[in-house]
Amino acid sequence: MHTRKFTRRLGVIAGCWLVASFGLAGGLHAIETPDDAYHKAVAAYVEAAANQVNAIRAQVDAESRNGSEATRKRYADVYDRLTQCDKLIAQLRSADTSDFDPRKKDFETTLHEAIAALEAARKAAGS
């Protein structure tokens, strides 16, 4: 009688141990390393940056599409800056951890210049 209880308890304990150990082992695979988290953050930043540049480009296209030659000239600087942004985004995609921050700074500076050029082109169109 005691042997049956002992065997049953041992079976329950062993079953719990197996479930816990496989669950823990499965959970260890789900834990991100710092490198994985960094690369995901970089990918998210680059994707958002590309979307922002594309949105600005769409605005410039809409504003200058049916414009005169003078209108296209006003927006030429904006297009040049957006082209530089595209090149910097490509560099961000391939940058390693030591190069990412300086390239990100260059991108953000160029993006701010593009936005300033867009505002200047809009102001010149209004005057």
33 Ramachandran zone, left/alpha/beta (phi>0; psi -120 to 50): beta
pLDDT digits (tens, 9 = 90+) for 42-63: 999 999 999 999 999 999 999 8
Residues with pLDDT less than 50, the chain? 10, 17-19, 24
User: Element (H or E) spanning 123, and its range?
Assistant: helix 97-126
The full set of domain ranges for the chain reads 1-31, 32-126
Could you give the CA distance from residue 84 to residue 106 in angstroms, rounded to a whole number?
Answer: 10
Q: What is the pLDDT of residue 10?
A: 46
111 Ramachandran zone, left/alpha/beta (phi>0; psi -120 to 50): alpha
Q: What is the pLDDT of residue 81?
A: 97
Q: What is the pLDDT of residue 18?
A: 47
Does the predicted TM-score (pTM) go above 0.75?
no
Q: What is the pLDDT of residue 101?
A: 94
Q: What is the pLDDT of residue 33?
A: 80
